[in-house]
Amino acid sequence: MTRVLSCIQPTGDVHLGNYLGALRNWVAGQHEKEVFHGIVDLHALTITEEPGVLGENTLELAAMLFAVGLDPEVATVFVQSHVPEHPQLGWVMECTLSFGELSRMTQFKDKTAKREGNFISAGLFSYPALQAADIVLYDTNEVPVGDDQRQHVEITRDAAIRFNHRFGDTLVVPEAVTPAAGARVMDLQDPTSKMSKSLGGAGCIMMLDEPTAIMKKFKRAVTDSESEVRYDVAAKPGVSGLLDILAAATGTTPHAAAEGYTQYGPLKVDTGEAVVAMLEPIQARYHELIGDPAELTRLLQIGSGRARTVASTTLSRVYDAIGLVPA
Ligand code: TRP
């Protein structure tokens, strides 16, 4: 079966755009292919936080992944630092890639430019080698990524091909694939931009927002000075953004969702209510899990256990191919 790996860094809270645009597809996809979902906490070390913050963020993200419907018996949801083979193979990948190649990574250049004068860790530089290890450890066939990560999958392919060339056929060469298209979710205050917390927050629905906060954000959503409800992204971005969300939350198309509405007020209220209803069971499950650390740990152990079984086999194959002395 095709094996798919997706990873996310545990940085910050999940919002409606992340859910409807991506996470919901992960849930649907878990029954189609063999999926691994890593919470890559070690990658997040490249951003310095107070002690404890990273762990907290990791548990919160894990609870959210299970709450939206990833089934630990079906999808392998694991924490990167629970699988020591990641940094172990990461070192081998660092020794497989060159200084020049890593120096040319766009993300590294961008990030170092932004942090000029500040602390730039060596980890920020070798980050793609750890990412390559994440990917090849699971004999991954497909890595669904956005454009910003394509170069990292490309360098992973280069590393795998080079390793195989030096040591014999050992690693599966992965492919970057375009993720299944999720819903279009635009910011409620800036409907020509994707929903984002960094646009100010008032136009961004967080997965854990209370119903009253959600309703308030929808009621204040930016529309236009007409009063016709019609799906027309170019001419009516605000109204169309609401229709996109309403359609995604109720399982219809934006054009169909527009039918019957003659005013913006009811559209806003109905969209808000549809989102509240959609999020309610997710929030309930999330709070249950966050309130039960033993259960959350148990669920993560299922994933980490399964991940380690695969990862340790790959690492042994790599060490054997190199010809390291067996332990
Ligand atoms: N670098 C990715 C990001 O910033 C996260 C990531 C780490 C990743 N390891 C991965 C993505 C492996 C896909 C596969 O989004």
For the chain, domain boundaries: 3-182+293-322, 197-287
Residue 19 burial (C-beta neighbours within 10 Å; 0-12, 13-18, 19+): buried
> Is the minimum distance from the CB of 170 to ligand 1 under 6 angstroms?
no
Per-residue confidence (pLDDT) for residue 262, from 0 to 100 = 94
Establish whether 111 is a catalytic residue: yes
Nearest CA to ligand 1 atom 11: 7
Domain 197-287 belongs to what architecture? Orthogonal Bundle (1.10)
Residue 196 burial (C-beta neighbours within 10 Å; 0-12, 13-18, 19+): middle
CA distance 278 to 218: 15
| Distance from Cα 11 to the centre of ligand 1, integer Å | 12
> Is the minimum distance from the CB of 243 to ligand 1 under 6 angstroms?
no
Establish whether 268 is a catalytic residue: no
- Tokens representing 310 are 């695969």
* Ligand 1 atom at minimal distance to the Cα of residue 152: 1
CA distance 237 to 265: 16
Going from the first residue of the chain to its last (327 residues), give the mean pLDDT of each consecutive group of 10, the final group possibly shorter.
94 92 92 96 90 96 98 97 98 98 95 88 96 98 93 98 98 94 93 93 97 98 95 97 97 95 97 98 98 97 98 98 96
Angle at 255 between CA 249 and CA 261, to 5 degrees: 85
- Strand order across the 175-177 sheet: 76-79, 34-39, 3-8, 142-144, 175-177
User: Would you say the CATH fold of 197-287 matches that of 3-182+293-322?
Assistant: no
Active-site pick, 33, 114, 197, 219: 197
Which residue in the block uniquely carries the two structure tokens 């990524």? 145
What's the pTM value of the predicted model, to 2 decimals? 0.94
Domain 3-182+293-322 classification at class level? alpha beta
What separation, in Å, do the N-terminal and C-terminal C-alpha atoms of the chain show? 32
| Distance from Cα 7 to the centre of ligand 1, integer Å | 5
Cα dihedral 209→212→218→222 (10° resolution): -100
3-state secondary structure of 78: strand
| Distance from Cα 321 to the centre of ligand 1, integer Å | 26
CA distance 67 to 283: 7
> Is the minimum distance from the CB of 96 to ligand 1 under 6 angstroms?
no
> Is the minimum distance from the CB of 80 to ligand 1 under 6 angstroms?
no
> Is the minimum distance from the CB of 135 to ligand 1 under 6 angstroms?
yes
* Ligand 1 atom at minimal distance to the Cα of residue 40: 7
> Is the minimum distance from the CB of 22 to ligand 1 under 6 angstroms?
no
Q: How far is CA 41 from CA 7, 55, 279, 284, in A?
A: 10, 8, 26, 25
- Tokens representing 43 are 């990658």
> Is the minimum distance from the CB of 43 to ligand 1 under 6 angstroms?
yes
Active-site pick, 109, 194, 217, 219: 194
Q: CA gyration radius for the chain?
A: 22
